[in-house]
Amino acid sequence: MQPMNTTSKMQLQCPMPKFDFEIITLGHGSGGVLTSKLLDEMILSQFSNDLLDKKHDGAIIPIEKGRLAFSTDSFVVSPLFFPGGNIGDLAINGTVNDLAMCGAMPKYLSLSFIIEEGLKVTDFWQVIQSLKKAAEVAGIQIVTGDTKVVEKGKGDQLFINTSGIGLVHEKANIDAQRIEIGDKIIVSNSIAHHGMAIMSVREGLQFESEIKSDSCAVNYIITELLDQFGDKIKLLRDPTRGGVATVLNEIAEDINKGVFIEESKIIIDENVAGACELMGLDPLFVANEGVFIAIISPEIETEALAIIQKHEKAQKAFCIGSIVTENPKKVVIQSEMGGKRMISKLIGEQLPRIC
């Protein structure tokens, strides 16, 4: 699948220097002169910091006593470029958000490329620029990395793994087992943008207003919530693959309590809802990349929503429902007409390679 005419593809953030190669070859992954050249000219120069510049097999990080969060994600999104982002910012935001969901402030990331021979240097450069910008926005450093190249037809342009280390907020006590009946379920923004942005590109659909991925880092919002409310934040999860419905099902199973949500409270932008309807997809199962779900004590609902909504990428935060005694391990949704039904986890593939 080829990148479409997307805004992200248009905005080169930094003029590309002149390289004496136009595509990545197998030699760039063999550990010799070409590998050094690729690393020095395209990668290390862009992410320079004291830890990375040592160019050792790993980074050495001085650390205080405390709790670390450690997370990993491989990104295989197709196409590489989509409205609202590309695999680069997705790879940063994905791991940053996973760390934030642990109640941590993300600090250090590793960056590992698996490149298919023939990847255009212009595309790679653009992804690197997005990685760089997203890292700056999230306030994290790339401190170690790896680059491999596979033969044409043995990969798909570019896969990226990011792994990350964060420092757990001293007030954080994120633990599903602390969730009680009556706790509120907050969703930090309107849903289903990322999945539908990818699908609209794949299917070549045009809507009145372009559907953009919501890919963004939510770590600063989480830090503010933990600063303010500490252990009243019981659980944080990001509804990526499988969407809100799958995460809520996982939570219900885990805590052996019921999850009750109201359809009328779910916020979905009009163009996203239209696209879902057109493609026969339930937005509750569609992936998000800049949304988090927080399970919180009921008494902080109003104040927590106000804090979240201050952030540009979370202005539509809403309370979707609460934890209940009825139907343990199940998610029940009350429709706008008043009827109730169970919603289960995503079965099989809805949107492969969404992230």
- Between residue 98 and residue 117, which ones bind its own copies under the rule CB under 8 A? 98-99, 101-102, 104, 108, 110-114
Question: Binders of its own copies among 169-198, rule CB under 8 A?
Answer: 174
Report whether 14 contacts 122 (CB < 8 A): no
Q: How far is Cα 142 from Cα 49, in angstroms, rounded to an integer?
A: 8
Under rule CB under 8 A, residue 352 binds its own copies = yes
User: Minimum CB separation from its own copies for residue 56, in Å?
Assistant: 6
Task: Considering the complex, state which of residue 63 and residue 342 has its C-beta at the smaller distance from its own copies.
Answer: 63
Of 156 and 262, the one with the shorter C-beta distance to its own copies is 156
Query: How would you label 38-58 residue by residue, b for 16+ Cβ within 10 Å and e otherwise?
Result: bbebbbbeebeeebbeeeeee
Give the one residue of 43, 138, 149, 211 binding its own copies; rule: CB under 8 A.
149
Binders in 226-245 for its own copies, by CB under 8 A = 237-238, 240-242
Of the candidates 195, 236, 222, the one whose C-alpha atom is nearest the C-alpha of residue 90 is 195
Q: For residues 289 and 195, what is the distance between their CA atoms, to the nearest angstrom?
A: 9
Provide the minimum distance between the beta carbon of 31 and its own copies in the complex, in angstroms, as a whole number. Answer: 3
* CA–CA separation, 222 and 229 (whole Å): 10
Nearer Cβ to its own copies, position 6 or 240? 240
- Binding range to its own copies, per CB under 8 A, among 33-41, 80-88, 213-221, 268-276: 33-41
DSSP bridge pairs for 113: 147, 160
Note whether 165 binds its own copies by CB under 8 A: yes
Q: Please state the closest distance from residue 151 (CB atom) to its own copies, in A.
A: 7
Stretch that binds its own copies, among 20-28, 204-212, 296-304, 328-336 (CB under 8 A): 20-28
Q: Which residues, numbered 269-328, are part of the site for its own copies (CB under 8 A)? A: 285, 287
* Residues in binding contact with its own copies, number by CB under 8 A: 87
For residue 13, the minimal CB distance to its own copies (Å) is: 25
Cα separation, 344 vs 331, in Å, equals 7
If the CB atoms of residues 97 and 188 are measured against its own copies, the closer one turns out to be 97
Q: Is 142 helix (H, G, I), strand (E, B) or coil?
A: strand
Question: Which are the contacts of 152, defined by CB distance < 8 A and separation ≥ 6?
Answer: 116, 117, 118
CA-wise closest residue to 124 among 197, 72, 46, 53: 46
Residue 203: strand pairing partners: none
Both tokens of 325, joined, read 């005694």
